[in-house]
Structure 1
Amino acid sequence: MYTGKEPTLVILAAGLGKRFGGNKQVAVLPDFNCTIMELSIQDAHAAGIRHVVLVINQQVRPLIEQEILPRLSCELQVELVEQAIMDVPPRFNGKAQLRQKPWGTGHALLCAKPHIPGTAIVITADDYYGPGAFKQLVCHFAEPEQSDMAIVGYPLEQTLSHQGGVNRGICQTHNGWLTEVVEYLDIQRGAEGLSGNSPEGGRVILPTTALASMTCWGVTQRLLTQLEVEFCRFIENYDSDVKSEYYLPDCIQSCMQQGLLRVRVHRACDRWFGITYKEELKRVSGLLYELRHG
């Protein structure tokens, strides 16, 4: 039973999955007959989570209600929240009417804000984080008078793709605290180790100890309050072709720079798996089955 004391699990599942060719958040893993987010919900439930908020798009609601929700534990309180383009402060309705794609992950979490009574663990639907991540974040918030946020970072070398280079936000840390997330592009393994294109454009060697941010956050009400402030500022300044997105890491970065919050970094104890293309579904399913049942 949900008591309101433990964190809420928020799953961002409203993406359109263009590279996947459909709604990958509801793609079934052939070895499990369920989705990746259901495995995450199972892991979160085992860690003590009893409240789940799924941020979805309108297209997937019927499938989630008819097929996924009946498979979840009856101990869970599950809420569905639709991320809609028109879900903006009234003064921005005109700009929203010109838009065709979702506002981004920051807006997705903002849509869930009314349903989060306290702290929250925020993940994406198409990434597998392992049971350890949920235990780490539940323990983080179980500390007395804990007011800091948290992130679970994954060893960069374990987040590479067989399909080619990847883009990753690399956690910059100091004494266990997050100072910045820096985006590196086209990261690949070569003769000299891991390398990627820096924000300045040059090719640089990346340390094997680097931790990648894979959207596994422990967030507080302070961030949720600031999300709305930052989102309004974003809409007032976004580009004229209405394609810019309001990303959650950008808001967190802004809050850190303003001294509004701190983020403790936890090193992941499990492997991360993600799916970008349909061709990866069977391979990832097999690896996860071996990992969970091997």
Structure 2
Amino acid sequence: MTQHSLTLIVLAGGLGSRFGGNKQIAEIPGLGCTIMELSIADAVNAGVSQVVIVINKKIRAEFEATILPRLPKSLDIVLVEQEITAIPAKFSSLATTRTKPWGTGHALLCAKPFAHNPAIVITADDYYGASSFEIIAEHFKHNSQWAMVGYPIKDTLSKQGGVNRGVCKVDQQGYLIDVVEYLDIKRENNTLYGNNPHGEQCEIANDALGSMSFWGITPVLFDYLELGFTQFLENTDNGVTKEYYLPNEIQLAIQKNRQAVTVYTAREPWYGVTYKAELDAIAHTLYQLRHKPNN
């Protein structure tokens, strides 16, 4: 087994229903590559030597034909399919009526057999900026605790309307306390407002950080995920539509196991794609970022 000091795990198993297709393998107009490939290039520059990509089996053939040949030959690349049936045997009946993936927590769990060292975890359709990979790589040179890069929420708003964000609560030492999901976040008269989990509209601090799913983790997280996923499946009311979310499990690890998560503030903007039209809208910006004179 090849030893790696740092792994990148890309969660690319979502179906992208609102996007109207597989947005994880949609090329950026003018760049001839996907957002995921930009992130992988940034990760390699930061010292990553292994990439584990969690995909939906529907895109495997196209992924292997188009994206894989464009990735650096020096990389140890592992493709893992997030299968609905990849659950403990005693819960197999739940998989028969399930039509969508089990969620980000399950997606990451699928990578467990291949990730044996500190890892950066990202989603495939978000552009995080090169410096975020450098931040986490540097963190793991001196630290064995988990970490995350948070992005100022005021910089992640959309012109299309309100956005949903996980708002980070951070203590005075810079450690994550929790992430609370706020819905329909908008700016009104230079003030941020969003609906809290109780449905109440609240003011959000102007310097609040949002969790955009950029994590630095160690293999112990997989043990927490396995236990948590079993508990999730044991809930008789989980039905076949609820998802097992990674941030919820990280929060439980903080609360139950006193797991420390260092929070860093991003140095560059985040760009995300939910709708196909947004890919065209950010294409010009990403093109400029990748063609700076010093790149």
Write the mapping of 1:195-274 to structure 2, written as runs, cut at 5 A: 195-237=193-235, 239=237, 241-274=239-272
**Per-residue deviation, 1:186:** 0.3
- The size of the alignment, in residue pairs, is 291
**Residue 68 (structure 1) aligned with residue 106 (structure 2):** no
What corresponds to 1:22 in structure 2? 21
Using the TM superposition, give the Cα deviation of residue 249 of structure 1 relative to its aligned residue in structure 2, in angstroms.
Answer: 0.4
Distance in 2, Cα, partners of 1:66 & 1:44:
22
Q: Deviations over 1:116-142 (max 9, x none)?
A: 011111000000001011101111111
Name the CA distance, whole Å, in 2 between partners of 1:201 and 1:226: 30
Contact 1:227 1:251 in 2 (8 A): yes
Percent identity between matched residues is 52
**Structure 1 residue corresponding to 2:154, chosen from 147, 153, 157:** 157
Q: d(CA) in 2 for partners of 1:42 and 1:61? A: 20
Report SS of the residue matched to 2:85.
Answer: coil
Q: Do 1:20 and 1:278's aligned partners in 2 also have CA atoms closer than 8 Å?
A: yes
Cα deviation 1:171-230 (Å, max 9, x = unaligned): 100020000001111001111421111122221221111100000000111111111000
Displacement of 1:281 after TM fit? 1.1
Whole-angstrom distance in 2 between the partners of 1:223 and 1:180 = 16
1:17 is displaced (CA, Å) by 0.4
1:170 to 167, 170, 190: 167
Matched, 1:148 2:180: no
Q: Give the 3 Å change call, closer, same or farther, for CA 236–205 of structure 1 in structure 2.
A: same
Deviation at 1:147, TM superposition (A): 2.5
1:193 is aligned to 2:202: no
Is the Cα contact below 8 Å between 1:6 and 1:138 reproduced in 2?
A: no
- Equivalent in the alignment of 1:10: 9
**Greater displacement, 214-223 / 194-203:** 194-203
Q: Name the stretch that deviates more: 266-275 or 256-265.
A: 256-265
In 1, Cα distance between equivalents of 2:3 and 2:177: 30
> 1:115 — aligned with what?
114
TM-score, normalised by the number of residues in structure 2: 0.96
Q: CA deviation at 1:241?
A: 3.3
Instruction: Show structure 2 runs of 5+ residues with no match.
Output: none
Q: Which amino acid aligns with 1:257?
A: Q
Gaps of 5+ in 1: none
Corresponding residue for residue 55 of structure 1: 54
Distance in 2 of aligned mates of 1:256 and 1:4: 28
**2: distance between equivalents of 1:293 and 1:157?**
26
* SS of alignment partner, residue 110 of structure 2: helix
For the residue of structure 2 that corresponds to 1:229, the secondary structure is helix
**Conserved 8 A contact 1:128-1:274:** yes
- For residues 281 and 56 of structure 1, what CA distance do their matches in structure 2 show? 20
How far, CA to CA, are the matches of 2:285 and 2:67 in structure 1? 22
Amino acid at match of 2:191: G
Q: Could you report, residue by residue, the CA deviation over 1:76-126 in whole angstroms, capped at 9, with x for unpaired residues? A: 110100000000111111112121111000000000000101111100000
Checking the alignment, whether the CA contact within 8 Å between 1:104 and 1:247 is kept in structure 2 is: yes
Q: Mapping of 1:29-40 within 5 angstroms?
A: 29-40=28-39
Deviation at 1:5, TM superposition (A): 4.1
Q: Is residue 43 of structure 1 aligned with residue 42 of structure 2?
A: yes
Alignment TM-score, normalising by the size of structure 1 = 0.96
Q: Give the letter for the 1:236 counterpart.
A: E
